Amino acid sequence: MTTTKDHFNIIIIGAGPIGIECAIALEQQGADYLLLEEKQIGDAFMKWPPNTQFFSTPEHVALAGVPVQNVNQQPITGDQYLAYLRMLIEYFDLNLRNYEPVLDIVKEENGRFQLTTQRRTAKHHYTANHVIVATGGMAGPRKLNIPGETLPHVTHYFPGPHTYFKTKVLIVGGRNSAAEAALRCWRVGATEVALSYRKPGFEFERMKPHLSMDLLDRIKKEEIKFYPGTIPIEITPTHVILASSEDGLTPNGSTIKHETDFVLLATGFEADLSLVERAGVLLVGDAMSAKHNPETMETNVAGLYVIGTAVGGTQSRFKLFISTTHDHVGKVVTAITGHAPKQLGTVGSRNNAVTWQEVQAN
């Protein structure tokens, strides 16, 4: 579908998985919609290092009833998922405009929304009757705000294990991403891999089993160095000062000087809901999540909706994933159009396919 008009009944902001699934549902109904993306579709997966697999199996990341098939039936990689998303965009001929960030949303007196976007050459304006925000919950890394965090050998994004071949690397964090990075760096041939975690021990029950067992074995054999109950308080070009901490937040006076070549801060990510906040949406709770009606996904601003992991704001304990937010699409599409989507999630014969009866039950 190609169009040059500037008014749409519905505008979706964010072409991640749930934004794309929402666009498919609207496309199948013949709705008048536009899907806007700040960068490229599936931008979060573009930041994954090569050959990084999902923690979830393929059926959990399928969209709109279209299966994710692969050769070995194991979790797919981020690159494979990007190919899947590209296929969906082309197969359903979605009305997508990428690399067009939304700068502002203003509700006008006539009840319509005016959206200001930034194209490559100039600002542009759209109007819409309904706006659906699906911008995700990982807009940027959670900063520690300590000296040295911006040094060139420090990163919040894992570039892949090859970067750390024959070097020393310190990884700060204690969840799946930190565990996987540590194991991959050790196996690729890093001279030394060390882990600093603010808690007294890993919560292995919250890790994927294959990672937890592997990491526990490496630590027991002292192949990966582990600093439990520590937090970094300063990073220099040659070393990191780790402070002991009882609460995982404040140092208690005891410090360790750990020499390293690189620092990977696997400290999680934060949502950015400033766009909807400026539009008048109330942000509530510690997670600063958008106030909304869970039956329709409509915020306190009539006609403005939020779906997907963006609903959770900055999650400390993740409960919202691709697989747990398909119902958001069902609720918002039905609320706006009066018609349920044909299919959500994976194919209907699978146990975790989302039926409309289940959406209504929620």
Residues 150 and 130 placed together within one structural domain of the fold: no
DSSP code for 280: T
Residues 22 and 121 placed together within one structural domain of the fold: yes
Residues 11 and 131 placed together within one structural domain of the fold: yes
CA of 226: how far to CAs of 113, 174, 198, 219, 221, in Å? Answer: 52, 10, 11, 7, 11
Pairing mode, if any, of strands 168-172 and 192-197? parallel
Q: How is residue 192 written in tokens?
A: 């030394």
Q: How far apart are the C-alpha atoms of 172 and 256, rounded to whole Å?
A: 14
Residue 1 belongs to a domain: no
What is the residue range of 261's domain? 143-265
Q: How is residue 127 written in tokens?
A: 């109007």
Residue 206 belongs to a domain: yes
List the 230-235 sheet strands across, edge first.
230-235, 239-244, 255-259
Residues 11 and 135 placed together within one structural domain of the fold: yes
Residue 2 belongs to a domain: no
Q: How is residue 342 written in tokens?
A: 């044909």
Q: At what angle do helices 78-91 and 17-28 cross, to 10 degrees?
A: 20
- pLDDT at residue 314, as a whole number: 77
Q: How far apart are the C-alpha atoms of 314 and 143, rounded to whole Å?
A: 13
Residues 132 and 172 placed together within one structural domain of the fold: no
Residue 62 belongs to a domain: yes
Residue 301 belongs to a domain: yes
Residues 60 and 92 placed together within one structural domain of the fold: yes
Question: Which one, of 35, 39, 1, lies nearest residue 18 by Cα?
Answer: 35
Question: Which one, of 21, 36, 33, lies nearest residue 68 by Cα?
Answer: 21
Q: How far apart are the C-alpha atoms of 246 and 89, rounded to whole Å?
A: 49
In the block, tokens 């509530």 appear at 284
Residue 230 belongs to a domain: yes
User: One digit per residue, pLDDT tens: the chain, 362 residues?
Assistant: 444 679 999 999 999 999 999 999 999 999 999 999 999 999 988 888 888 888 888 888 999 999 998 888 788 888 999 999 999 999 999 999 999 999 999 999 898 999 999 998 899 999 999 999 999 877 788 899 999 999 999 999 999 999 999 999 999 998 888 999 999 999 999 999 999 999 988 887 777 878 888 999 999 999 999 999 999 999 999 999 999 988 777 888 789 999 999 999 998 888 888 898 999 999 988 878 888 999 999 999 999 999 988 887 776 666 777 888 899 999 999 999 999 998 898 877 766 666 555 555 55
- pLDDT at residue 354, as a whole number: 62
Q: How far apart are the C-alpha atoms of 22 and 134, rounded to whole Å?
A: 9
Residue 22 belongs to a domain: yes
* Number of structural domains found in the chain: 2
CATH number at residue 255: 3.50.50.60
User: Where is the domain boundary, 217, 235, 265?
Assistant: 265
- pLDDT at residue 286, as a whole number: 81
Residues 281 and 229 placed together within one structural domain of the fold: no
| CA angle, residues 266, 272, 275, in degrees to nearest 5 | 165
Residues 127 and 176 placed together within one structural domain of the fold: no
Q: How far apart are the C-alpha atoms of 75 and 83, rounded to whole Å?
A: 14
Pairing mode, if any, of strands 225-228 and 192-197? parallel
User: Where is the domain boundary, 265, 285, 311?
Assistant: 265
User: Where is the domain boundary, 217, 244, 265?
Assistant: 265
Residues 158 and 261 placed together within one structural domain of the fold: yes
- pLDDT at residue 3, as a whole number: 43
| CB distance 131 to 102 below 8 Å | no
Residues 96 and 202 placed together within one structural domain of the fold: no
Q: How far apart are the C-alpha atoms of 66 and 200, rounded to whole Å?
A: 43
Secondary structure string (H, E, C) spanning 18-51: HHHHHHHHHHHCCCCEEEECCCCCCHHHHCCCCC
Residues 154 and 113 placed together within one structural domain of the fold: no
Q: How is residue 104 written in tokens?
A: 């502002």
| CB distance 340 to 330 below 8 Å | yes
CA of 280: how far to CAs of 54, 270, 300, in Å? Answer: 35, 20, 8
Residue 213 belongs to a domain: yes
In the block, tokens 């959206």 appear at 115
Residues 216 and 279 placed together within one structural domain of the fold: no
